Amino acid sequence: MFRINLPSNTGLFFMCLIMTSVSFVSAQTKITIQAGKPGAQISPTMYGIFFEDINFGADGGLYTELVKNRSFEFPESLMGWSKLQQEGAAGLLSVRDNNTFITGTAYGEPGNSHYLRIVVKKAGKGCGITNEGFRGIGLEKGKKYWFSIFARSSSDKMGFKVELVNADGRIVAQGRLDNVTKDWMRHIFSMNAIETEAKAKLNLLVTSEGSLDVDMISLFPDDSAASDSSTSMPIPGLRKDIVQMLSDMKPGFLRFPGGCIVEGYDLSLRYQWKNTIGEISQRKLIKNRWNTEFKHRLTADYYQSFGLGFYEFFVLCERIGAEPMPIINCGMACQFNSAQLAPMDQLGPYVQDALDLIEFANGPAESKWGKVRMSMGHPKPFNMKMIGIGNEQWGPQYIERYKVFAKAVKEKYPDMQLIAATGSDATIFPNGQKEIDYLWSQWRQLKPEFVDEHFYRNPEWFTENANWYDKYDRTGPKLFVGEYASQSVGVASPDNRNNWKCALYEAAFMTGMERNADIVKMTCYAPLFGHEDGWQWRPNLIWFDNLNVYGSANYYVQKLFSLNPGTNLLPVETSGPATPDDSKKALYINSTLDKKTGEVIVKAVNITPDSQAADIELQGISKVKKQAKAITLTAKSLTDENSLRESKKIFPAETSVAVTSPKFSYNFQPYSLTILRVPVE
């Protein structure tokens, strides 16, 4: 850092001259890039995404079912529903538990046997139920919504009306069904919304006396869901605007179905993929582990319906061009919760689940699980190449279980790449450094293809450790940075913010991960989603409510790295100033070559409040092609953040930059991430 003390009587003009010339000479950063020496390849999977059903990520979020507790399977059977008796009406509600029409043929454990009986004593203006949705039901004016239901009645003439009402109770869409018979049948019809409303409710009102049994009461927007009345399976009901945000990132992979959710509080609540496929009505619901995880954010109505299940995850991967990366439970429940273990001699079914999953994804259509995939609408294999064994596991119990999984998987599928874990934080492990050293000593011997490291630390940690991977063994397993996010207050604090400081400091760390792309092969931010009214954990990459979605500042950092990876690393040397307090570097830099487009890419993160002038030299290049591109992400203040109201406050700006020679200067804006793309010959 350069400081000058000026005499108090120095004239202002003279003072400015001195400061300008001195800072230009002394503080100018030099960036020398050996553009003619492309090195290690950047993996096409370098930047990916990590989905977990936390913060209403699936039900109430990405999955577009708008009715909560649609099949009355929540332990509190009428949660989300209440009785509705309009003028002159009287009736009774009771939840029953023997719906054999729906139960019985699922691939996993039998699922949804509950249904609701509405006994109408006086029909009046309508007697029935109302559903509150997931913190309301989001409706858009002019959009079509598909209502579906399984129903039977005590007589062949029963009918009911369905209304979608806004927050004031005014009807904004409606429909009617008059042909409910004595036998269970699925009925479906559409309704058009005449108003936009974020907090609508769904009313079902019986208009004649008798009894009506109902189950799987469902509402999907037209642009995502099953509009085909014959089957609800082939079209995953995923929210279009949210999927767009994901596909805009061009993610290299999708890690799913989560972190802790894979493990479960105890083994009964672990994620079992076989319960998440097949007919949606037969998927077995469980309590979401984030329902009660945080006392400060209890979410009593958080369950997993698995409408978004493993088949849909694979299809999603295909649609957004991401490699599927399923994580499987390895016979261990969350070690921060019950730490329950499947005994070693009872590990068989867990291992079989992993093998069957690979067959489900990749097996020929004639194989047992390939046939199931085909029956769901996807004869072609999903071409899954990797699988994670456990989430944040540690200790000798993990190692002995990992070995069993690794042996079984490799014996049957030698090319399947395995991902092994290193607990919840690769720096501050619960049992201290010894534990992480123990795990790494095992991984060096057992040689999984990837070792997964997680970092939830304060922003400063990310800049101070931008060189984290410089020191790693180049011959050991490759690295997967499977979860990381800068925490403005502390891990799991409800006060954490997705502010610009967190995003910018993560960007600095990312230059370091990218510089180590010879060993760091995959990286992703965590968690992915947060519902504005239904979150348990923050910060999150993408936020939404029932109608809108926006990317956090961190999202745009991830997106810019992901869209500008380049194909090969370039050696870079920098010399230059530190932050004003001398504690850190001012600029964090990495450079790559994009062989496909013939561009040198420079990523620069300026964490100081001053712009940083730099002399950049592309060595080994004879000519540059005049017009370079600069993409800049910055904010006025480190506390700035995007929000529903100001969703693009922090948003990339693209400009053309005239570059006439391989030696040029660039002024990196204060508090900015800049990506320069310089076409070269």
Q: What is the spatial distance between Cα 621 and Cα 680, in angstroms, rounded to a whole number? A: 7
| Residues 612, 601: Cα–Cα separation, whole Å | 18
Question: Cβ 57 to ligand AHR, closest distance in Å?
Answer: 10
- In terms of CB distance, is 529 or 668 closer to ligand AHR? 529
Return the closest-CA partner of residue 405 out of 355, 462, 467, 447: 355
Q: Cα dist. 176→56, 158, 444 in Å?
A: 31, 11, 64
Kindly tell me which of 129 and 485 has the beta carbon lying closer to ligand AHR: 485
For residue 262, the tally of other CB atoms under 10 A from its CB is 27
Total number of residues shown for the chain: 681
* Shortest spacing between CB 537 and ligand AHR, in angstroms: 6
- Sorted by sequence, the CB contacts under 8 Å of residue 546 that are 6+ apart come out as 133, 134, 135, 136, 137, 138, 198, 199
Nearer to ligand AHR, 430 or 609 (CB): 430
In the complex, the smallest distance separating the C-beta of residue 139 from ligand AHR, rounded to whole angstroms, is 31
Nearer to ligand AHR, 198 or 327 (CB): 327
The residue among 315 and 526 lying less far from ligand AHR, judged by its C-beta, is: 526
Cα 192 from Cα 435, distance rounded (Å) = 58
Name the minimum Å distance from CB 443 to ligand AHR. Answer: 18
Q: Three-class SS string for 56-84? A: CCCECCCECCCCCCCCCCCCCCCCCEEEE
Candidates 52, 392, 483, 599; catalytic one: 392
Write out the two tokens for 222. Answer: 């037209």
- Pull the structure tokens for residue 495: 């006060």
Taking the C-alpha atoms of residue 562 and residue 642, their distance in angstroms, rounded to an integer, is: 20
Helices and strands, number each (H, E), in the chain:
11, 34
Nearer Cβ to ligand AHR (392/594): 392
Between the alpha carbon of residue 469 and those of residues 290, 429, 532, 603, the distances in Å are 32, 18, 35, 18
- Closer to ligand AHR at the Cβ: 55 or 64? 55
> In the complex with ligand AHR, which residue's Cβ is closer, 259 or 307?
259
Are 498 and 542 within 8 A, CB to CB? no
Please enumerate in sequence order all residues whose Cβ is within 8 A of that of 157, keeping only pairs 6 or more positions apart, or say none. 178, 208
Contact assessment for residue 277 and residue 309, using Cβ atoms and an 8 Å cutoff: yes
Other C-beta atoms closer than 10 Å to the C-beta of 407 total 11
Q: Between 482 and 566, name the residue whose CB sits nearer to ligand AHR.
A: 482
CB of 652 to ligand AHR, least distance (A): 25
Cis peptide bond upstream of 539, omega within 30: yes
Q: Are 369 and 299 in contact (CB under 8 A)?
A: no
Residues 6+ away with beta carbon under 8 Å from 471: none
- Contacting residues toward ligand AHR, per CB under 6 A: 52, 54, 258-260, 391-392, 424, 483, 526-527, 537
- Give min distance, CB of 677 to ligand AHR, in A: 32
CB of 485 to ligand AHR, least distance (A): 8
Using the minimum distance from each CB to ligand AHR, give the nearer residue, 173 or 526: 526
- Strands 127-131 and 197-206, sheet pairing: antiparallel
Q: Shortest Cβ distance from residue 581 to ligand AHR (Å)?
A: 32
Count CB-CB contacts under 10 A for residue 635: 21
CA distance 657 to 680: 14
Spatial separation of the C-alpha atoms in residues 474 and 569, rounded to whole Å: 15
> Is residue 445 within 8 Å of 475, Cβ to Cβ?
no
Give min distance, CB of 425 to ligand AHR, in A.
8
From the CB of 259, what's the least distance to ligand AHR, in Å? 2
Whichever of 329 and 590 has its CB closer to ligand AHR, that residue is 329
Smallest gap, in angstroms, from Cβ of residue 195 to ligand AHR? 36
Active site residue 654: no
Residue 483: CB minimum distance to ligand AHR, A = 5
- Closest residue to ligand AHR, based on beta-carbon distance: 259
Exposed / middle / buried, residue 66 (Cβ in 10 Å: 0-12, 13-18, 19+): buried
Q: How many CB atoms lie within 10 A of CB 638?
A: 18
Integer Cα distance of 372 and 282 in angstroms: 14
Nearer to ligand AHR, 132 or 263 (CB): 263
Buried b (16+ CB within 10 A) or exposed e, 426-435: beebeeeeee
Calpha distance 610→202 (Å, rounded): 54
Active site residues: 392
